[in-house]
Amino acid sequence: MKAVQFSDHGDRSVIDYGEFPDPTPDRDEVLVDVKAGALNHLDVWTRKGLPGVELEMPHVPGSDGAGVVLEVGEDVTRFEPGDRVAVSAGVYCGKCEYCRHGEYSMCVNYHIIGEHVRGVHSERAAVPEDNLVEVPSGVEWETAAAAPLVFQTAWRMLLTRGNVSPGEDVLVLGASGGVGHAAVQIADYAGANVYATASSEEKLEYAEEVGADYTIDYEAEDFASRIRDLTGKRGVDVVVDHVGAATWRDSLASLAKGGRVLTCGATTGGTPETDINRIFWNQLKVIGSTMANPGEVDDVLELVWDGTFEPRIRETLPMSETARAHEMLEEREGFGKVVVVPDSEYDG
C-alpha cells in the first residue's frame, strides 16, 4: 500500500508518500480501507519532533481518518466488514486510577494515534476496536475524517471542564483553526455569547457563519483591549486559548474577575510569560483539557452526524500533497480543516 510517512524529523521536505508494508490487524484491531484523513496541528509538531516522544521510523502520521472495515481481529465484537467507521485517536489503558473512575482522557498511559504511534494517513490502517466509532451512511467521508479530534477536544474543554453555561461571554482565539471553529459552534450551542478572533475579514465572516456574535481581527487591533470595549470593561467569563505563548497574557487580561481560561494546546509555544498577580488578584482559573472520554465522543459526534455541528473543510488534497497541507496549517491559510485522501481515491 501507499502511505504518508517520514523517516526523520524536520521541515516539510521530510514528508513522503510512497510504498509502506500492509498492516495486519491484531486480535483487538480492525483493518480499515481509508477513504479520507484530516490534519491537525499536532501533525506538524510530530513531524518536527516532540520532546520525550520516540517514534518508530518511518512514521505514518495522522490522528483523524475514516473509511470502510475490511477485516476484523478475532476478539473484535463491535464491527464487521463493510461497516463505515471513523477514528477517535485517544488510546487509554483502562486499568489506572483515572480509567477506573471513567476519566479515560486523564489515563497515565494515554497516547494518541498518529502522534505517539503509527497513524492513519495511508491507504489502509489497523486500528484498535476501541478507537473506532460508527459513521452513518449519509455522512460524507471528509466530514467523518475531519470531525472527531477537534470536536471531541472542544466539547470536553468547554462543557465538561469549562462548564460553559447559557448567557456567559466566551472568547475563542484562533477561531479559523480546527479546534477554534469547533469551539465557536459548541459555545454557541451552549447558549453563550461568542466572541471570536481571526486574522482576516474572510475568516471572521466564516466565524460568524458558524456561531460567533462578535469578531475581532487580532492582526488589526489588540484583542484584549477590544474585549474590554465590547464588554464595558468587564471582560469575558471564559477564554478558549489553544494558541499559547503568543496570546497568553492577553487572554488573562481579557477575563472578568473569577473568569477562567481553557487550554488544550499551545501552537505558538508552551512556555509563555504569565501574569501571576492578575491570576490571584482577579481569582482566575486556568483549566487544562485533553481530548475526551468515550461518552463525550459519542455525544458530540452524534451532533456532527445530524448536522448540528459542521466541520468546515478548507481544502481537500491527495495524500501525495500532504506537505502542502502542512504548509496551510503552518501559514494559517483558510478556515477549518484540511483533508487528505489516498491518491487512489482522489477525484480532484
Find out whether the peptide bond into 58 is cis, omega within 30 degrees of 0.
yes
Cell, residue 68? 470502510
Q: What is the mean pLDDT of residues 271-283?
A: 94
Instruction: Determine the pLDDT at residue 78.
Output: 97
Binning pLDDT at 50, 70 and 90, where does residue 88 land? very high
d(CA 309, CA 130): 24
Binning pLDDT at 50, 70 and 90, where does residue 347 land? confident
Query: First CA to last CA across the chain, in angstroms?
Result: 21
**Do the beta carbons of residue 112 and residue 63 sit within 8 Å?**
yes
Instruction: Determine the pLDDT at residue 348.
Output: 72
Q: What is the mean pLDDT of residues 7-30?
A: 97
The pTM of the full predicted model, rounded to 2 decimals, is 0.96
Q: What is the mean pLDDT of residues 54-69?
A: 97
Mean pLDDT across the chain, nearest whole number? Answer: 96
**Do the beta carbons of residue 223 and residue 252 sit within 8 Å?**
no
Percent of the chain with pLDDT strictly greater than 90 = 94
Instruction: Determine the pLDDT at residue 198.
Output: 95
> 275 or 121: which carries more pLDDT confidence?
121
Instruction: Determine the pLDDT at residue 225.
Output: 97
Binning pLDDT at 50, 70 and 90, where does residue 118 land? very high
Phi, psi of 299 (to 5 degrees): -65, -45
* pLDDT tens string 43-57: 999 999 988 899 999
Binning pLDDT at 50, 70 and 90, where does residue 269 land? confident
Rounded alpha-carbon distances, angstroms, from residue 67 to 19, 118, 178, 259, 291: 20, 17, 20, 41, 21
264: buried, middle or exposed (CB in 10 Å: 19+, 13-18, 0-12)?
Answer: buried
Instruction: Determine the pLDDT at residue 44.
Output: 96
* pLDDT tens string 142-175: 999 999 999 999 999 999 999 999 999 999 999 9
Taking alpha carbons only, the member of 193, 222, 103, 96 closest to residue 156 is: 103
Cell, residue 98? 483515572
Cell, residue 177? 483553526
Domains of the chain: 2-147+311-341 (3.90.180.10), 151-288 (3.40.50.720)
* pLDDT tens string 184-220: 999 999 999 999 999 999 999 999 999 999 999 999 9
pLDDT tops 80 at residue 31: yes
